[in-house]
Amino acid sequence: PAATTAKVMNQSAITAALSTLERLRSLQSEKEACTLFASSLLSHPLGATGASSSTSAGDSTDNAAADAAAEAQKNKLEAQDPLHPRSLPGGVRDAWASLTKSSRALNILAGEVDDMDIDQNDALLANNTGTITASMIENELAKEKRHENEQYSLNNGQLSIACRTVALKVALERQGELTEILDKDAKTTVQI
């Protein structure tokens, strides 16, 4: 009986230790993501601009070749920049995508809809019927395709500036909160 009790206590201690380690790892990852996002935002305040202007039919092949070479050089430089929005880990790129999306006005008169509206409608349909339709799958695949080609570009308009400022403020505040939590946990762990 005493050996069984000791074994159960050891399993409890191991489970608690693993839980604590996982929580700390998660908090550390979130802190690093906040740091990367804020650093990237400060390094690239206008985000990552898209491809350079396409050549028209009247352009010579020399201009097209020069444009292609310039585009290749730009892509090479972007790949070497660890803070470039396209070089960041997926979750941080998602933050960039959200910032980009939030900082542009929708042309409602032209019928432009936010992906969130489509997502909410799909989610309501799935919850009400319990089925996932082909159009839902097609919408998800189309969003993934758009995400692959995301430009992450911002402009200097008032909405974009406000969104960038708020995103930077929130990222830095959250990083500070996480630093405090991790420091507090480190002191607590050392005392145990």
- Distances in whole angstroms, Cα of residue 112 to Cα of each of 21, 51, 125, 172: 45, 23, 21, 33
pLDDT, position 155: 83
pLDDT, position 90: 84
Q: Mean pLDDT across the stretch 62-82?
A: 74
Percent of the chain with pLDDT over 70: 68
Confidence of residue 123 (pLDDT cuts 50, 70, 90): low
45 Cβ neighbours under 8 A, 6+ residues apart:
154, 164
pLDDT, position 139: 75
- Distances in whole angstroms, Cα of residue 191 to Cα of each of 9, 58, 159, 170, 184: 20, 74, 48, 32, 11
For 51, half-sphere exposure in the C-beta direction (CA atoms, 13 angstrom radius) is 9
- Distances in whole angstroms, Cα of residue 109 to Cα of each of 42, 112, 157: 34, 7, 20
Output the DSSP codes for 16-58: HHHHHHHHHHHHHHHHHHHHHHHHHHHH-TTB---SPPPPPTT
- With contact defined as beta carbons under 8 Å apart, do 164 and 23 qualify? no
Bridge partners (DSSP) listed for residue 47: 153
- Distances in whole angstroms, Cα of residue 53 to Cα of each of 50, 58, 59: 9, 14, 12
Confidence of residue 176 (pLDDT cuts 50, 70, 90): very high
pLDDT above 60 for 147? no
Mean pLDDT for all residues in the chain: 77
**DSSP H or E stretch at residue 124:** helix 115-129
Q: How far apart are CA 109 and CA 65, in angstroms?
A: 39
Convert the pLDDT of each residue in 22-61 to its tens digit: 999 999 999 999 999 999 999 998 887 644 344 444 455 6
Convert the pLDDT of each residue in 150-169 to its tens digit: 677 888 888 889 999 999 99
pLDDT, position 135: 78
Least confident of 1-10, 28-37, 78-87: 1-10
Q: Mean pLDDT across the stretch 55-74?
A: 65
Q: How far apart are CA 103 and CA 167, in angstroms?
A: 10
Using the 8-state DSSP alphabet, how is residue 110 labeled? G
